[in-house]
Amino acid sequence: MQMPFCWDKRSPAHAPADNHVAINGTVVVSCHLGLSSPGKTTTLRLFSTTQMDPNTGKGKLSPEAPLRSGKKTKAKQGAVKTTTMTYQVTFFVDADFGTPGAVVVKSGLRNDHFFLRHVQVHMPEAGRTIHFECNSWVYPFKKTNADRVFFINTSYLPDKTPEALRLLRDEELRSLRGSGRGELKDWERVYDYDLYNDLGNPDKEEHARPVLGGITSVYPYPRRCRTGRPLFKTDGATETRKHMINLDFYIPPDERFSPTKLAEVLTLAVQAVTHFVLPESKALFHGNINSFRSLEQLKGDLYRKPVVDGQVVMDKLKTSVPSHKTYKQVSKMVKETPVKFPIPQVIQNEPEAWRSDEEFAREMLAGLNPVVIKRLEVFPPVSRGGKQSSITAAHIERQGQLEGRTVHKALDEKRLYILDHHDYLMPYLRRINTQEQGVCVYASRTLLFLKDDGTLKPLVIELSLPSDGAGADGEISRVFLPASPGTTDGHLWWLAKAHVSVNDSGYHQLISHCRLFTHATVEPFIIATKRQLSAMHPIHKLLEPHFKDNMQINTLARSILLSAGGILERTMFPGKYAMEMSSAIYSEWRFTEQSLPNDLVKRGMASSSNKDHLHLHVEDYPYAVDGMDVWRAIDGWVRSYCAHFYHSDAAVAADAELQAWWHDVRTVGHGDRQRDRACWLDLDTVANLVESLSTLIWIASALHAAVNFGQYGYAGFMPNRPTRCRRFVPLPGSPEMAQLEADPDRFFLDTVPDRFTTTLGLTLIEVLSNHTSDELYLGQRATASWTDDGEVLQLLDRFRDDLRRVEKRVTERNKDLRLKNRKGPAKVPYTLLFPDVGNVGAKEKGITGKGIPNSVSI
């Protein structure tokens, strides 16, 4: 490891010639957690932005200048500790060199790489300091055979780029696209597309999985970033990882976790694995590896037991940690971390409220998956094939369930709603139930009524299975109605609700959150942005914070969560059909429907006479109410930002880089959805650009926050959100019905996930629900120097002010006792869309249940 060096501090390397001037600058490098520092042969050069070199077609290039006078600085902002080295540099340039527009860095290190934060050069005659925001890894020239180029923090549309920088701008983009061939090394910065072909192992029949994606594929899917790494053996179509958990994979260097975040994520992983080891070891010791014996035992084993030594897990992890200093940091953090699962919010204040129908329904509006419920527009519900539901008017008009209304009157008044997990599941049920050992799953429909007090009341649950007859489309359905607890019908209703929660949990993890609608949707936009939009492009600068860490998270997910036999297959009911089912749902995905206003209208939860006015049919819908406040703030920020750079629709249409970016997204990154014209807006007006960018930022920030950071709060108590069932609902007169009536709690625990699955699932959602210390929240930027445009910085300040007003309104709503869905019977306030813009330097981190990070960062 290179040590910080220090040269003669008394003077620059040499004095300027008579026709030269000296330009002084500073270079800041991160050096905490074992990072390398630049070597003595690392040099910098400047490109002029105003003076051309006729021989190269680029700006004039200064002679090489070495670094000197390294000074270490330690800083702490909130929970974030950083250590940097600041070096001095002096460039000697011709008197007519002009204004620098790019800096070239050449690393003379043999093997190590360093993280360059920024470079500043001081122009006393012009009365300004020029800033080059870098935040990038610099590898040795002997490996890259190319210098690194960083541009000034001024934004330029392509046709406004100074002539001296145009060729450099084009060359940088071409290098980032790569050749599309060969193995990619750690130091290569290449952004290319690939299929989801690394999830299975064709050499093991039980781990064979279809390749997802491809224009002619029967399994459409978004593209991922190409790895091109010999970590895999291949059958020509499928890449297979040598190990299930593998931290040694290629992603472009600038997409990797910071050393601080890597240490924290590894600490969370050790903590989660230790949590898993403790309950499982106790279960083995007591000879009980299947079910919890009681709900009290479940709570005691998971949340109340003493800690266990996490160092055992650290010893296993040692070979996977990138550096010894990172390992020591993780080990220190593990020792400071209590090794037991925290008590989930849903049982903190009212331990039994999760059982109630009111809480069951409220979580459809304010829980961890509030994006599925729809307004019922046709009764009875009808499948896509035209088959009517077995639910009748008599089921829901009984005993004043509709407060004196008929079904049709309730429909007309927009009072009936449905949680529909039927059509997309029916084609998979036979395979899931016959090939997935120990899994018993239905397709479900849950109808709800909007009461006068603004809350939802469950009316009926329909559970369906494919019939055994010759008809491929036949199905057998059972209908369950609310009933008093303690009765046989009450026990059956409880089990029916559990099966609905299983459906919703699977949809949430595979579609709403972990893969399709957030993580997987965003990655093609990242690749296209790096390939087609220069770092100087204003839209690149707008989007950059919303891409942070997404690609590394996705790569880890493919290795650990989504792979054949991975955590999701082991804990979620679809099992090995999970990604295939996700692909089927993606076949109908439309980007134009992902904005919050359009999504609410599509689901019938709102109506709109124009884009500026949206009427919610459930007025106390916390996700939608808070979400629309956040959406308006995002839309206002994006609208003002785009108007600053694009003064006409023609300017948008004429932006060659922007059009290439949109073409890349539509025809390659999301190429499997290019034939659906309704999937995309044409990027030919400022208005369409604003809506598309606002939608992308909404997905990466607020939508992800809404479906991610409440996971532990609600699903951390498994009985509230089971992920699979092991028994069907018993039939009248069966032995299973007698067991249910004799001990309903034990029957319930024998139905929902076993100890192993429960504990494994908790280890996952505990990690996913955490905010790390380097989190940047909506409205925040890593530095104030990301742009030199004062007007843009004022617009960003206005955006932060809008978000602070959103925070105030969220807080006020949570105090309003008339809004019963804000807290519900469990008394969990809805804060998932509280922006937390003032949480600078992660003053609050961990499982907070609030805060909207800029990006899909975990």
Calculate the CA dihedral of residues 764, 767, 768, 774 and round it to 10 degrees.
-160
Instruction: Find how far residue 221's CA is from the centre of its chain.
Output: 17
Q: Look up 615 and say whether it is catalytic.
A: no
Q: 559 phi and psi, to 5 degrees?
A: -80, -40
**Distance between CA atoms of residues 31 and 28, nearest Å:** 10
- Return contacts of 509-513, CB within 8 angstroms, 24+ apart: 509/568, 509/572, 509/723, 510/568, 510/572, 510/574, 510/578, 510/579, 510/581, 510/582, 511/582, 511/585, 512/369, 512/371, 512/372, 512/707, 513/369, 513/704, 513/707, 513/708, 513/711
Catalytic residue among 32, 118, 207, 519, which?
A: 519
Structure tokens belonging to residue 127: 């009365």
- Greatest Cα-to-Cα distance within the chain, rounded to the nearest angstrom: 104
- Annotated catalytic residue: which of 197, 369, 554, 708? 708
Q: How far is CA 668 from the centre of its chain?
A: 21
- DSSP letters, 453-476, are TS-EEEEEEEEEEE-SSS-TT-EE
- Cβ pair 255, 553 in contact under 8 A: no
Sign of torsion, CA 518 524 530 535? negative
53: enclosing H helix or E strand: strand 43-53
> From the candidates 546, 704, 720, 821, which is the catalytic residue?
704
DSSP 382: B
The single-letter code of the amino acid at 108 is G
Q: Taking a C-beta distance cutoff of 8 angstroms, is the pair 445, 462 a contact?
A: yes
Contact between residue 821 and residue 362 where contact means Cβ atoms under 8 Å apart: yes
Catalytic residue among 513, 537, 540, 771: 513
Residue 708 annotated in active site: yes
Do strands 232-234 and 239-241 pair parallel, antiparallel, or not at all (unpaired)?
A: antiparallel
Helix, strand, coil % in the chain, rounded to nearest 5: 40, 15, 40
- Per the CB < 8 A criterion, the answer to whether 520 and 562 are in contact is no
513 belongs to the catalytic site: yes
* Phi, psi angle pair for 73, to nearest 5°: -135, 130
Instruction: Verify whether residue 704 is a known catalytic residue.
Output: yes
Q: Which residues are known catalytic residues?
A: 513, 519, 704, 708, 858
